[in-house]
Amino acid sequence: MFKNALDVIPGGVNSPVRSFNAVDSSPIYIKRGKGAYLYDEDKNKYIDYINSFGPLIFGHSKKEISNAAIKAMDKGTTFGACHKNEIKLAELIKEKMPSMEMTRLTSSGTEATMSAIRLARAYTKKDKIIKFEGCYHGHVDHLLVKAGSGLTTFGSPSSPGVPRDFTKHTLIAEFNNLTQVEKLFKKNKNKIAAIILEPVPANMGVILPKSGFLKKILDLAHCNDSLVIFDEVISGFRLSIGGAQEYYNLKPDITCIGKIIGGGFPIGAFGGKKEIMSILSPSGPVYQAGTLSGNPIAVAAGIKTIELLEKNNLTLYTKLEKRALNIKTEIDKLNLESITINQIGSLLTFFITKNKSVVSYKDVLKCDTKIYGALFKKLLLTGIMVPPSQFEAMFISDSHSKNDIIETIESFKKGIKTLGLK
C-alpha cells in the first residue's frame, strides 16, 4: 500500500508524521478503530495512544457520537448556509469556556489560529506577534518558525516556500522564559499585537508551564496593550472541560480550539471577547470565511461529545489523569537515567534524554530520537501504538481500561529492558 501511495501522494502520506520516518519505519495502514484499539490491514490489533492526536477523548467509534453524525448526515452533508446547531455548539463552548463570549467556527485548527492572529492585528492596529519555540499553531506561513513536532522531526527550523517577509513580524521566545518575552516587548515597543502560545505545549512533546508563567505572560501582554491568544486545539476540553484556561484559572483574550469539539470530524474554532470578535465580517471589516465552516456533521458530533463530557465531568477527567499518572509512576519507579516523563491530565510524553527537566524546546532537541524509534518498534511488536515521533504526545481516552494500562506498562518495561536502557 505504501509503495502504491508513493506514486500518487507526496511522500506517500497526507501528513508528514504518518510516514513513520521519524522512527525509521514504514507506515501502518489502519482498517478500523474501536474503543481503545486500532486494527491494521494485516489484522494486527494495537492499544492506541495516538487517538488521532487528541480528538478521540472517548476512543474510537463511540456509539453516541457516531449516531449523532449519522443522524445529521441523513439531513444533508453540507449546506453552505446557516443551521441551528451552529448556535448550539457556540453556546456550549461559551458555557464551558466563558472567555469565548463569541465564537467563529472553521474547518481546521490552522484556519482558527490564522484568523485569530489577523483579528488580533486588526484590533490592536499592530503587526508583530510573539510565538514560542516548539509551539505549533498550524501550517500558516508566518507561524512556521521553530514550530513544533513536524518541523522538529524532519530537522527544519522553518519551511521552504515561506518568504522572509512573511515571518519578519514573528518574534520568537523560549517557552518558560519570561525574561526573553520582556526583552522583546522593550525592543519592539508599541509594535506587538499579540502573544500566541499553547498554554501546555504538546507539539514538541508535553511541556509543562512553570508556576506562574502563564499568568505573568497575560499580565505582561496587557501592560503593553497586546492580546494573548491561547491555542487550545489540543488542551481544550482535554485538560478539563474548560481547557487549560479553566485548569489554570486564566482568561485569554482569544482562544483557538478544535479536535475534541468535532468528535473526530474536521473542525476548528476561535473566539474571545465580544468587542474583539465583533470586528469580524460581516459585523466588522476583518474578513474571514469558509465554505465548510460549521459543517453540520462535525457540529452534530461535537455537540454530542461535549454533552457526554458534561454528563461525565465529575469522574471522567479524574479517571483519565489517574490512568496517565499510573503509566508515569510505574516507569518512574525504575529510576532510569535515560527517560524523563512529562505528564499532565490525560497527556504524557516519554522523552529519551538524561536531562531530568524538560521545560523548553532546547531540552527537547537533546532527546535521542534513534532510541525512541527503537522503543517505538519494540512496543509496536507487542501491540502498543504510541506516536511515531519523539515530539508528539500520548493521549489517554475513556476507552482505555485498567488492563490496557497494565499491559502498556509491562510492554514499556520489556522494551526498556531489551534495549538495555538504564
Residues acting as catalytic residues: 136, 231, 259
Nearest to 227 by CA among 202, 203, 278, 192: 192
